[in-house]
Amino acid sequence: MDLRNRIKESFKNVDINELEQSIDNSIKQNNDIVLPSLGIFFEIIWNNCSDEVKNSILDTLVNNI
């Protein structure tokens, strides 16, 4: 099983609060090990959002990098 599928499977049955807590904790840990999971989440968002949302994400990134 590849990394994408493992990450998706491990979060398959979590509720919105558990997902938010997991993301927040991953960011707070400041640990490079969690970056692949966050990248998978970002990929899911990117592939499933409108062009308007993509532009908002891009603006946020450009203005904060």
pTM over cut 0.85: no
pLDDT number for residue 54: 98
pLDDT number for residue 1: 66
The CA distance from 42 to 17, in Å, is: 18
Q: pLDDT digit of tens for each residue in the chain (65 aa)? A: 698 999 999 999 999 999 999 999 988 988 888 888 899 999 999 999 999 999 999 999 999 99
Q: Are 3 and 36 in contact (CB under 8 A)?
A: yes
